[in-house]
Chains A and B, each alone.
Chain A
Amino acid sequence: MQATRDFSHYVKHLGSGLQHIDLAVEGVNCAGCMSKIERGLSAMPDVTLARVNLTDRRVALEWKQGTLDPGSFIDRLAELGYKAYPFEKASAEAAEAEQSRFLLRCLGVAAFATMNVMMLSIPVWSGNVSDMLPEQRDFFHWLSALIALPAVAYAGQPFFRSAFRALRAGTVNMDVPICIGVTLALGMSVVETVNHAEHAYFDAAIMLLTFLLVGRYLDQNMRRRTRAVAGNLAALKAETAAKFVGADEISQVPVAAIRPGDIVLLRPGERCAVDGTAIEGKSEIDQSLITGETLYVAAEHGTSIYAGSLNISGALRVRVSAASEATLLAEITRLLDNAWQARSRYMRLADRASRLYAPVVHATALLTVLGWVLMGASWHEAIVTGIAVLIITCPCALGLAIPTVQTVAAGAMFKAGVLLNSGDAIERLAETDHVIFDKTGTLTLPELEVVNAADIPAGIFALAGQLALSSHHPVAAAVAQAASARSPLVGAIEEPGQGVRAECGGVEIRMGKPSFCGAEQMATDNADLDPEASIVAFSRGEEKYLFSVRQALRPDARAVIASLRQRGIAVEILSGDREAAVRAAASVLGIDEWRAGVTPADKIARIEELKRRGFRVMMVGDGMNDAPSLAAAHVSMSPISAAHLSQSTADLVFLGKPLAPVVAAIDHSRKALHLMRQNLWLAVGYNLLAVPIAISGIVTPLIAAAAMSGSSILVMLNALRARNSGSQARPAKIDAGFASDRVLEHDPEKWEPVFRKDHAQIKDMRS
């Protein structure tokens, strides 16, 4: 049954007979790919526009309505050698993009104003020491005010808003002293200009905003980019469901277009993409992505099926339910909410710094005013000096100290295959001293692998692989893939729930349950060898073989555990799986601390216990059952193959088969935290030098401008060092852009995302 593909959900109608679609494309990484794709697609009749976005790895397409099916674009791109899939911008991503543009607009306005105010300030500075007339100076000051005031009002919005939010919540963040400094500098300058004074600080105020906006834009751009990549990866999973559109008619529709109440068909070997309840059929399902349990669960009428479950043996009809209806989900959501509330108590390094910084600076300014009045200066003079202290201590360097390091470190992690969900995750990650791993799908790979391939003669293996192509069973699919079988055997018959058989050279060959192949005795003899594996038997006449199929450990898991220990980090396993399976994995990896059959609530209890004992716990997990503990841990990480809920809960997501990104992320974050602290000290050192000058009342606008830009640039340059994690053996690759991942793109092993393959789809592609 070949279902039709329906992409109408993604197609936008532009009017005047034009249609538009956005595709996420895998593997576009150079100018060559760009023109190849654009030329290839433009050559199709009726295509009016094909434009690649190389930054986001996407293609925008427009065509005349009626003739073309969106599916044909995907086929065309597949011919060109690119995997593509339509996608819909998540609202979070659209918001990030809008924010990014807004910051760039602010930056443009601020930079324009800074340049023009500087152009007016430099004549004043040089005129003050030579022959400038007071009227000319006033004229230049008024012009500066005319430019700076509206520019600050516009470009300062991000800071004013954030400071206002913080104050309303009763806290202080770095933006509060920034806003106070900028506002006072402008206010004093206007008053001084009215009084025909020699000094005005318009240039200092607007320059400060420009520097801070540069830092903020880079930070935002990094986040936008990470979201775009995450959005692409999600789209390229191409999750679809076979929806009933008539009594017996189905259509393959994208998951985004499925609504509660729809009925979908779940064929054997398919991974369910929606939450729902089985209403017809009988099967076994693999719920390892939900519960961590690798044993199959029986499914029949009334069984809850969660997104991510793999259907094993028979076809099921599933009625889609709203997320809250499912009981397990409701329980997990409740635990998750509690965990989030506890999490929000963490205070970021920047906020801790500003909490110390703001009172000290404001007290210093106040003491300066009082001191000067006591020493006999006029109130006017004293207040001008006090404000000069605030201007020169305005935390420009401090405001840049942390976001710039975060940006650079996030870029470095991106190259190592780690996507950051939240900015402050870096500092929390750096503090980690205890890592809890989930087993299924985290320490192990999500795909099934044949573990005893070496024990089976190559000829038998190849034949078994060919036979396996005719079965929908996921275990058979794993055998077929391991044997890299391409051509199915002619006349193979699948017996549902039993196995497949075929005639080969006059001998009957069979593959399936041990009983189906007459290998029960052999299976019982080997049952205790590998408790985690699924056994599939193969017989050719009287020859019998057993394939042991299971989720293998990630290739570098052992090395990663060892290097975590080397860094003084304790490691343990908390798994929802059976004891025997967890014990086997733990002993291979040399982990003494492990627990099996753990519920989500138990996991949280364990994390809380460790927290009470003073550990900073990192949770690495992929299952839906891990989501609450991911939120409860100090910091959390998920593989890209994780359940949706877990992936959005985790602070970091890593790509690819190896587990190495976990260590790389810790190294990068430790280096980054070190640099953040260093930057804060640089900023403090700058203040120790500048404040006495300000207090003594000899600060001129020239000194303020030079000191502030000098310290900001110093901090930014120092942040660039976060590009190399220091302890990495790999030589550092120098790259022009912060976030450019072009270098890594040529390391395919690192970047091949572990997609949970939809076996039915692979079959469709083969046939």
Chain B
Amino acid sequence: MEVLVILVPLALGLGLAGLLAFLWSLKSGQYDDLDGAAWRAIADDEPAEVPPSERA
């Protein structure tokens, strides 16, 4: 059961990394236009930058 000492912090660390990634994506405005983002994924041309003013 010593393996828990490695596995539990590892699992929690991964979870926390996921949460931080989510909070970052939220903050950088990636959830502001869900409809548009769905289409941009399959658009041909280069995506435009997210405007700095929307990064609240």
Give A50 to B50 CA distance when docked, in angstroms.
9
Annotate B1-41 by CB proximity to A: 1 below 8 A, 0 otherwise: 10010001001100110110011001000011111100110
Which residues from chain A contact B44 at a C-beta distance below 8 Å? 35
Interface of chain A, helix or strand or loop or mixed?
helix
Q: How far is the CA of A30 from the CA of B39 in the complex (A)?
A: 8
Give the complex CA separation of A35 and B8 in angstroms. 46
Q: Is the CB of A740 within 8 A of B19?
A: no
Q: Is A6 an interface residue (CB 8 A)?
A: no
B1, B43, B53: the one within 8 Å of A14 (CB): B53
Q: Which residues of A contact B51 (CB under 8 A)?
A: 20, 49, 51, 60, 62
**When each residue 1-30 of chain A gets 1 if its CB lies under 8 Å from chain B and 0 otherwise, what string results?**
000000000001010000010000000001
* Proximity bits, A704-743, B CB within 8 Å = 1, else 0: 0000000000000000000000000000000001001000
Inter-chain CB contacts under 8 Å: number: 77
The B interface is mostly helix, strand or loop, or mixed, namely helix
Contact partners of B49 in chain A: CB under 8 A: 49, 51
When C-beta atoms are compared, the residue in chain B nearest to A136 turns out to be B1
Collect the chain B residues with CB atoms within 8 Å of residue A56's CB: 33
Given contacts A101-B26, A105-B26, A147-B12, contact A42 B48 (CB under 8 A): yes
Residues from chain A with a CB closer than 8 A to the CB of B36 are 34, 52-55
Residue of A nearest to B34 (CB): A55
Residues B52 and A54 in contact, CB atoms below 8 Å apart: no
- The reply to whether B12 and A116 contact each other, CB–CB distance below 8 Å, is yes
Give CA–CA (A105, B34) in the complex, Å.
Answer: 16
Tell me which of A60, A62, A108 has the highest count of chain B C-beta atoms within 10 A of its own C-beta: A108
Residue A109 CB within 8 A of the other chain: yes
A143 within 8 A of B: yes
Cα distance A376–B11 in the bound complex, in angstroms: 44
Q: How far is the CB of A561 from chain B (nearest CB, A)?
A: 37
Confirm or deny: A322 has a beta carbon within 8 angstroms of a beta carbon on chain B.
Answer: no
A38 at the interface (CB under 8 A from B): yes
Q: Known contacts A105-B26, A112-B19, A116-B15: does B48 contact A50 (CB below 8 Å)?
A: yes
Cα(A9)–Cα(B23), bound, Å:
33
**Inter-chain contact A54/B45, CB cutoff 8 Å:** no
Chain B interface size, as a band, is 20 to 34
Does A104 reach chain B (CB closer than 8 Å)? yes
CB–CB A109/B19 < 8 A: yes
What is the CA–CA distance of A197 and B18 in the complex, to the nearest angstrom? Answer: 32
A108, B19: Cβ atoms closer than 8 Å: yes
From A52, A60, A737, contact of B53 by CB (8 A):
A60
Contact yes or no, A31 B42, CB < 8 A: yes
Q: Answer whether residue A167 sits at the interface, using C-beta atoms and an 8 A cutoff.
A: no
Q: Which residues of B contact A31 (CB under 8 A)?
A: 39-40, 42-43
Q: Is A119 an interface residue (CB 8 A)?
A: yes
Question: Would you call A44 an interface residue if the criterion is a C-beta within 8 Å of the partner chain's C-beta atoms?
Answer: no
Query: Are the C-beta atoms of B45 and A35 separated by less than 8 Å?
Result: yes
**A404 CB to closest chain B CB, in angstroms?**
19
In the bound complex, what is the Cα–Cα distance between A295 and B18 (angstroms)? 66
Give bound CA distance, A30 to B33, whole Å: 13
Contact partners of B33 in chain A: CB under 8 A = 53-56
Point out the residues of chain B lying under 8 angstroms from A43, CB to CB.
none
List, in ascending order, chain A residues with CB within 8 A of B35's CB: 54-55, 737, 740
Q: Can you report 12 A-B residue pairs in the complex whose CB atoms are below 8 A from each other?
A: A12-B53, A20-B53, A31-B40, A31-B43, A49-B49, A51-B48, A60-B54, A62-B53, A109-B19, A112-B16, A116-B11, A143-B8
Other A-B pairs beyond A51-B48, A55-B34, 15, CB < 8 Å: A12-B53, A34-B36, A35-B43, A39-B45, A49-B51, A51-B50, A54-B35, A62-B51, A101-B56, A108-B22, A108-B23, A116-B11, A116-B15, A136-B4, A740-B35
